[in-house]
Amino acid sequence: MIRALRAEFAKLKRARMPLWTLLTVCGYGVISATMTSALLRPEAATKIGASGGAFAKAAAAGLYHSNWANYLRFNQQGIAGAWGILLFGLVAAYLFGREFSEGTAKNMLTLPLRREWFVLAKFVVLAVWVLALTLLSVAAQVAFGALLKLDGFSWSLVRTCLVDSLRVSSLLFLTLPIVGWLGMLGRGYLPPMLFSGLMQGATTALVVTKWAAWFPWSMPVLLVGASWFPVANPQKLVASSWMVALGVFVGGIGLLFWQIDHADNAQ
Amino acid sequence: MDTAGGVPNLQQGEVVIRTEGLTKRFGDVRAVDGLELVVRRGEVYGFLGRNGAGKTTTIRMMLALMKPSDGYVEVLGQRMAPNATRAFERIGSMVETPGFYGNLTVRENLEMQRDLLGLRRSAWVDEIIEMCDLGEYLSRRASKLSLGNKQRLGLGRALLHKPEVLILDEPTNGLDPVGIVDIRGLLKRLASERGITVFLSSHILAEVQQLATRIGIIHQGRLLEQIGFDELRRRSRTYVEFRVSDLKRAAWVLEDECGVHDYAVHEGDALRVYSDFERAGELNGALVQAGVAVSGMQLCEENLEDHFVRLTGGLDEEEAAQPAASTPRRWRR
């Protein structure tokens, strides 16, 4: 297992994907800071409101106040509803699909190591990667927020942002085995990314329905509030929601183990 | 057919690779059909077949990359299945185009492989670098290597843990003539100096003829024959080949004027006579006298290509286009 883990980390040396994911997260921080900065000026808020959309209308109506509490909420809401599904999905697709797109799966599967170790090692790397992106997103959000000179800063707000971001990322992490499995099944990046895109779309569609509490991809949105502004009365996750999420995780891991041990792994 | 059952005095441990009724179905298509194959220790076994004959599928089943629909494969006495880790400690393999982590250098790829194999000494990597002549590319990223050097690196990866068996699928595919000669030389050295059993698939007859000590011919998923080269030579028929200007007339001369019936028309302008060799001069005279120009006449022995054609019913364009180069197509007397 340790050998497989070392190899999985070594494979990332000079790889561009980690850098692209870091830049994406920072890019989101820049966007949320820019938006907050614009909303500090009432005339800009009115203009944004004219463009339509729930957030814009709320901002124009003065329901969104540009302070630290609201600004930091951008982060967990961004992970849950804007970039988490797609970016974490991309990371999972990369880790599992890469072996097939680069023709290295046949090498990996003919090594004198249990194949399950590779799956587990990839999951450890995936977890570290997701954690790093989440921590970076919080750090970036705080750093860019400091430049805006917003009112009402406190470390407890940062702590809340960090904890909520980690909860959201953890929930999304539970959906990633299925994405990884699709990377192996489809032997590349396209099928898992199409799937992630589909889940992102489904989340947007389902989040306002009662089904959201049982759809693992929309659960993170419910966890931190279904709306961008603090006026919503979000649905709560129930015990069965967590069972569904865990079921998806365990089922995904099972599919991965089955795929690597029993399916034809031709390239 | 010379199969395991037919091999006399087969000693325990002598068989390195054995397949029993190995079958792979894709829907209604039988890609591999009841393959009974035996490879003995120290052999260089050439697994021949046209494109799509079932060679790669067989190799994938040998390496547990694919699950047989029926039958099984044993390598070094162990039934091949996913996680046959003990067997994989003793097997080196390269399936089709070798794959690497393009962002890592040649050395980094080999070092990672060494670590994954649990080999502690870095000297093993140095040895492979020297053996595969990769010294000048050590710091080059794998993605920047030429196809030939990728093949070398693939072979190096397969050899790193000093395997007893090397399973290679089309190891010279896509290489230029110099690359082919290099890889062939390396495989010959490995077999002769290290006693490694080599199982290699190919559709290039000239390559196999120069490397293999024994061949298996697969066609439409079925193993048509397994035969050693010594046996093949013993069985090979001798003939006199005439290159003539008019095949029809030449055939008429041979049959009606000279009474020769054991002949065959071959490759456009060639006519092969399988008996009456002592009358070759007389036959030549008769042809010339009948107005048939004879541009060549030689005593030949059937080669692998002839054997392959006879068994499978012809060559693909690609197979036929393979240059004879340094490989004589005939064993001349």
Give the domain CATH number at B116. 3.40.50.300
**B217 and B245 assigned to the same domain:** no
> Is B102's Cβ below 8 Å from some Cβ in A?
yes
Q: Report residue A231's pLDDT band, with 50, 70 and 90 as the boundaries.
A: very low
Is residue A87 domain-resident?
yes
Contact: A102, B113; criterion CB under 8 Å: no
Candidates A8, A12, A107: best to mutate against B (most CBs of B within 10 A) is A107
Determine, yes or no, domain membership for B202.
yes
Distance from CA of A75 to the nearest CA of B (A): 32
Q: Average of pLDDT values for A44-58?
A: 63
For residue A18, the SS3 value is helix
User: B191, B213, B233: which is the final residue of a domain?
Assistant: B233
B222 and B294, same domain (yes or no): no
pLDDT(A52) > 70: no
Task: Return the number of other C-beta atoms located less than 10 Å from residue A120's C-beta.
Answer: 18
Confidence class for position A89, pLDDT limits 50, 70, 90: very high
Q: Which residues of A touch B117 (CB under 8 A)?
A: 111-112
In a domain, A267, yes or no: no
> Are B155 and B174 a contacting pair, CB within 8 Å?
no
**What's the total number of domains in chain B?**
2
Q: Does B144 touch chain A (CB under 8 A)?
A: no
The verdict on A102 touching B (C-beta cutoff 8 Å) is yes
Q: CB-CB: which of B66, B93, B98 is closest to A266?
A: B66
Q: Is residue B22 part of a domain?
A: yes
The larger pLDDT score, comparing residue B67 to residue A148, is at B67
Of A107, A264, A267, the CB nearest to B157: A107
Distance CA B177, CA B27 (A): 39
3-state class (DSSP) for residue B78: strand
Do B106 and B184 reside in the same domain of the chain? yes
Of residues A198 and B85, the one with the higher pLDDT is: A198
CA distance A176 to B124: 38
Q: Are A105 and A95 in contact (CB under 8 A)?
A: no
Residue of A nearest to B80 (CA): A110
Tally of residues, chain A = 267
B112·A7 Cβ contact <8 A: yes
Answer yes or no: do B144 and B261 share one domain. Answer: no
Q: Do B116 and A10 touch (CB under 8 A)?
A: no
Q: Are residues B116 and B248 in the same domain?
A: no
For residue A206, give the amino acid letter. Answer: L
> In DSSP terms, which residues pair with B219 in a beta bridge?
B222
B327 belongs to a structural domain: no
Start-end of H helices in A61-148: 68-77, 84-101, 105-109, 115-148
Higher pLDDT, A55 or B188: B188
Indicate the DSSP class of residue A67.
Answer: B
Residues 6+ apart with CB under 8 A from B242: B250, B270, B271, B272, B273, B283, B284, B287, B294, B296, B297
Question: Is position B291 within any domain?
Answer: yes
Q: What is the pLDDT of residue A87?
A: 95
**Cβ atoms A184, A93 nearer than 8 A:** no
Tracing tokens 């960090």 back to the chain, one arrives at: A162
Question: In this structure, are B61 and B180 located in the same domain?
Answer: yes
Cβ pair A261:B63 closer than 8 A? no
Q: Is the CB of A19 inside 8 Å of chain B's CB atoms?
A: no
What's the average model confidence in pLDDT over A19-39?
87
Q: Which of the pair, A173 or B53, is modelled with greater confidence?
A: A173
Is residue B173 situated within a structural domain?
A: yes
> Is residue A53 assigned to a domain?
yes
> Domain span at residue B52?
4-233
Residues B221 and B249 in one domain: no
Q: What are phi and psi of B295, to 5 degrees?
A: -90, -10
Q: How far is B311 from B225, CA to CA, in rounded Å?
A: 8
Say whether B104 and A13 touch across the interface (CB within 8 A).
yes
Which structure tokens are listed for B71?
């039958």
Residues B147 and B251 in one domain: no
- State the pLDDT at residue B198: 92
Measure B174 CA to nearest chain A CA, in Å.
16
Q: Which residue in B89, B101, B102 is closest to A112 by CB distance?
A: B89
| Residue A264 or residue B95, greater confidence | B95
The ipTM estimated for the assembled molecules is 0.79
CA distances (Å), origin B264, targets B52, B239, B259, B292, B331: 29, 10, 14, 17, 19
Q: Given a cut of 80, is residue A225 above it in pLDDT?
A: no
Residue B69 in domain? yes
- Residuewise pLDDT in 10s, chain B (333 residues): 444 333 334 444 488 999 999 999 988 888 899 999 999 888 889 998 888 888 899 999 999 999 999 999 999 888 887 777 888 889 999 988 888 898 999 999 999 999 998 888 888 888 888 888 888 888 899 888 888 888 889 989 999 988 999 999 988 876 778 778 888 888 888 888 888 899 999 877 777 878 888 889 888 888 888 888 777 766 667 788 899 888 888 988 888 888 888 888 876 788 888 887 888 888 889 899 989 999 888 888 777 777 777 777 755 555 444 443 333 333 232
What's the domain range around A232? 2-262
Within a domain: residue B77? yes
**Based on the structure, what is the number of domains in chain A?**
1
Average pLDDT for residues A102-116, to the nearest whole number?
A: 89
Give the pLDDT of residue A2: 87
CB pairs under 8 A between A and B: 89
Neighbours of A28 (CB within 10 A): 22
Same domain (yes/no): B165, B190: yes
Amino acid at position B320, single letter = A
A9 close contact with B: CB closer than 8 A: no
Highest-scoring range by mean pLDDT, A8-17, A84-93, B191-200: A84-93
Residues of chain B with Cβ-Cβ distance to A104 below 8 Å are 99-101
